[in-house]
C-alpha cells in the first residue's frame, strides 16, 4: 500500500456553493499528513469525504487504494475522530470501551485498557463529566483501538489547553511510532502541525493551494530582503510566492531548489507558518506552485 | 544520553535540528563513542514529534558515519570523527575570536553589530565556497 488518500477533481457542492472544488492530491501511506487552512476552507468537507460520511458532487476519492464507500470492510480500516471529539455523555468510560469492542471487528482490547490506565481514566466515570483533555484522549483511544490503517482526525486539539494539546499529540505520535498507520489531521494552527506532520496540505477557499513534504517545504523556501528590485529580474530558478516593496527595499518569499548566491540579498530561513500564510494570500490554486518536490 | 529540543520558530526543519544537536554534542564532546542516542519512541514521547522525523535524522547521522544502529538494541555513537580534531582546534580559535571581539568593542561596535558582522562573514565565505 503506497497511497493513503488520493483525490482527483474532487468537489462537494451544498446548494449553489462549492465547499470544495477541483481538489486533486495524493497523500503517501505511512505519513502523518496535516490539513491546514482558514475556517471555511473545506477541511471538514474533505475529511468527511475521505471517511465516506458524505458523497462527492464531482470527481473521485480513494483511501488505502479503494474508492471510498461506506462498506463494513472499508470502515474497519479507517478510524475517524470528528470535530469536538463527540462521545455519549451519559455512558461511562467502560461502556464506551464495551461499545468499541462490540462494533469493531479488529478491536484491540489490551491497547484500549493500557491507554485508559496510562491517561488515568476512571472506568466508571461518565463521559459527560470528563475534562476536555480526557474526552479527547478517550475519543483517540476508541479510534486507535479499532486498529485502523488510516486515522482521520478533524481539529482534534482545537479546543484543548496547551498542556492537554501536547499530551494528545504525544499519544498520537506514540501510536504512529508503534504501529504502521497513516494519519490525516486538520488544524487551523500551523504550530501544532509543524512537529507532528511530515506532509502538509493547504486548503483555501475550497482549493488545494499547496501540498508537499514538510522538510522539502522548509528547505525550498527563503525570505530575501535587500535594495528594491523588480521581481521579474530574478533567476528563473526562483519563483516568487509573496512580495512586498517600499521605495527602497524589497522583501520576497521565494521558492527555489538552489542556494541564493546574489550578495545583494539577505537570505533567511522561513518557518512553516510563514510559508503557509504566504500561500494563503495567493490567488486560488495557482497550478504552477501547488505541488512541492517534483 | 542527550536530550533533544525543538525550536519551532527557526525555519530549520525538525529533522535537521535533531541532526545539528547531535553534531553539536559530538563537537563539544558531550557525546562520545559508545554512547546511546535516545530511542525513537523516547524522542517521540518527549517532544510530541513525528517518528519519521526522528528516523530520518538518525538515518542521516548513520549515513555520515557518526552513529550506527544495532537492530533491536538502539542507536550508538560510533567514532569520534567530529570530536577530536575539532575539539583540539576549539581552544585556539576561541582565543582568537575573543581577541577579535575586544578589538570590535574598542572600535565601538555593540553586540548586535558584532553578530551582524559575524553572520555576514560566515555567509560571504559560504558564497565564495559555492561560486
Q: For chain B, give every domain's residue range.
A: 14-77, 83-130
Average per-residue pLDDT for chain A: 89
Q: What is the mean pLDDT of residues A132-160?
A: 93
Pairing of strands A182-187, A32-36: parallel
User: Considering only alpha carbons, which residue of chain A is nearest residue B11?
Assistant: A271
Domain annotation for chain A: domains and CATH numbers:
3-205 (3.40.50.300), 216-280 (no CATH)
Residue B14 C-alpha, separation from nearest chain A C-alpha, in angstroms: 7
Contacts with A129 (C-beta within 8 Å, 6 or more apart), sequence order = none
- Confidence band for A293, pLDDT divided at 50, 70 and 90: low
For range A44-51, the mean pLDDT: 94
Q: For A57-114, how does the pLDDT look when each residue is reduced to its tens digit (9 = 90+)?
A: 999 999 998 888 778 888 889 999 998 888 999 999 999 999 999 999 899 999 999 9
Query: pTM here?
Result: 0.82
What pLDDT sits at residue B105? 92
Query: Chain B within 8 Å of A196 (Cβ-Cβ)?
Result: yes
Partner residue facing A174 (CB), from B16, B45, B52: B45
pLDDT for res A46:
95
Give the DSSP H/E element, type plus range, for residue A34.
strand A32-36
C-alpha cell at B12: 530549520
pLDDT cut 90: percent of chain A above it: 62
Q: Which three cell numbers stand for residue B54?
A: 526522528
- Give the single-character DSSP code of A268: E
From the list B15, B127, B130, the residue facing A215 with the nearest CB is B15
Contacts of A31 in chain B (CB under 8 A): 52
How far apart are alpha carbons A59 and A15 in whole angstroms? 17
pLDDT value for A185: 94
Contact between A177 and B53 using a beta-carbon 8 Å cutoff: no
CA distance A191 to A162: 12
Q: 3-class SS at B116?
A: helix
- Quick one: pLDDT band at residue A154, thresholds 50, 70, 90? very high
Walk along chain B (131 residues) and give the pLDDT tens digit of each residue. 788 998 877 778 889 999 999 998 888 888 888 999 999 989 998 898 999 999 999 999 999 999 999 988 899 998 755 655 666 777 888 899 999 999 999 999 999 999 888 888 887 887 777 55
Closest chain A residue to B9 measured between Cα atoms? A271
pLDDT of residue A197: 92
Give me the pLDDT at residue B28, please. Answer: 80
Q: What is the CATH number that goes with domain B14-77? A: 1.10.10.10
- How many C-beta atoms lie closer than 10 Å to residue A84's C-beta? 15
Classify B4 in phi/psi space as left (phi over 0), alpha (psi -120 to 50) or beta: beta
Q: Is A264 on the interface with B (CB under 8 A)?
A: no
Pairing of strands A182-187, A150-153: parallel
Closest CA to A112 of A79, A160, A88, A89: A79
Contacts of A198 in chain B (CB under 8 A): 50, 52-53
DSSP state letter for A83: T
Q: What's the pLDDT band for A195 if we cut at 50, 70, 90?
A: confident
CA distance A167 to A158: 13
Helices (H), chain A: 43-50, 72-75, 93-103, 109-119, 132-145, 162-178, 190-196, 214-220, 272-280
ipTM greater than 0.95? no
Query: Contacts of residue A267 in chain B, CB cutoff 8 Å?
Result: 123
Amino acid at each position: 500500500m503506497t497511497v493513503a488518500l488520493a483525490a482527483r477533481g474532487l468537489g462537494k457542492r451544498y446548494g449553489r456553493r462549492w465547499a470544495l472544488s477541483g481538489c486533486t492530491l495524493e497523500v503517501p501511506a505511512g505519513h502523518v499528513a496535516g490539513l491546514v487552512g482558514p475556517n471555511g476552507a473545506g477541511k471538514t468537507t474533505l475529511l468527511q469525504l475521505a471517511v465516506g460520511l458524505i458523497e462527492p458532487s464531482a470527481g473521485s476519492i480513494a483511501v488505502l487504494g479503494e474508492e471510498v464507500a461506506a462498506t463494513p470492510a472499508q470502515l474497519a480500516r479507517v478510524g475517524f475522530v470528528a470535530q469536538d471529539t463527540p462521545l455519549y455523555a451519559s455512558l461511562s468510560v467502560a461502556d464506551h470501551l464495551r461499545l468499541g469492542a462490540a462494533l469493531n471487528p479488529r478491536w484491540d482490547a489490551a491497547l484500549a485498557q493500557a491507554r485508559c490506565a496510562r491517561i488515568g481514566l476512571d472506568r466508571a466515570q461518565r463521559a459527560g463529566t470528563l475534562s476536555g483533555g480526557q474526552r479527547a484522549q478517550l475519543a483517540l483511544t476508541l479510534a486507535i483501538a479499532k486498529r485502523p490503517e488510516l486515522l482521520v482526525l478533524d481539529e482534534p486539539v482545537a479546543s484543548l489547553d496547551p498542556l492537554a494539546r501536547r499530551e494528545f499529540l504525544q499519544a498520537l505520535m506514540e501510536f504512529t511510532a508503534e504501529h504502521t498507520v497513516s494519519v490525516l489531521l486538520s488544524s487551523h494552527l500551523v504550530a501544532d502541525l509543524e512537529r507532528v506532520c511530515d506532509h502538509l496540505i493547504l486548503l483555501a477557499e475550497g482549493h488545494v493551494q499547496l501540498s508537499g513534504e514538510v522538510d522539502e517545504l522548509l528547505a525550498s523556501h527563503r525570505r530575501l530582503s535587500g535594495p528594491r528590485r523588480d521581481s521579474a529580474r530574478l533567476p528563473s530558478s526562483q519563483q516568487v510566492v509573496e512580495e512586498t516593496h517600499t521605495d527602497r527595499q524589497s522583501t520576497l518569499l521565494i521558492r527555489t531548489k538552489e542556494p541564493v548566491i546574489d550578495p545583494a540579498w539577505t537570505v533567511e530561513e522561513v518557518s512553516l507558518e510563514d510559508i503557509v500564510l504566504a500561500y494563503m494570500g495567493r490567488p486560488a490554486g495557482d497550478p504552477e506552485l501547488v505541488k512541492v518536490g517534483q | 544520553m542527550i536530550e533533544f529540543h525543538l525550536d519551532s520558530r527557526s525555519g530549520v526543519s525538525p529533522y535537521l535540528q535533531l541532526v545539528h544537536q547531535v553534531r553539536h554534542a559530538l563537537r563539544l564532546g558531550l557525546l562520545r563513542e559508545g554512547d546511546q542516542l535516545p530511542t525513537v519512541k523516547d524522542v517521540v514521547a518527549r517532544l510530541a514529534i513525528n517518528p519519521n522525523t526522528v528516523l530520518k535524522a538518525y538515518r542521516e547521522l548513520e549515513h555520515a558515519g557518526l552513529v550506527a544502529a544495532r537492530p533491536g538494541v538502539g542507536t550508538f555513537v560510533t567514532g569520534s570523527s567530529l570530536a577530536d580534531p575539532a575539539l583540539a582546534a576549539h581552544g585556539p580559535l576561541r582565543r582568537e575570536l575573543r581577541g577579535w571581539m575586544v578589538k570590535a568593542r574598542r572600535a565601538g561596535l555593540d553586540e548586535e553589530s558584532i553578530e551582524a558582522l559575524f553572520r555576514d562573514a560566515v555567509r560571504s565565505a559560504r558564497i565564495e565556497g559555492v561560486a
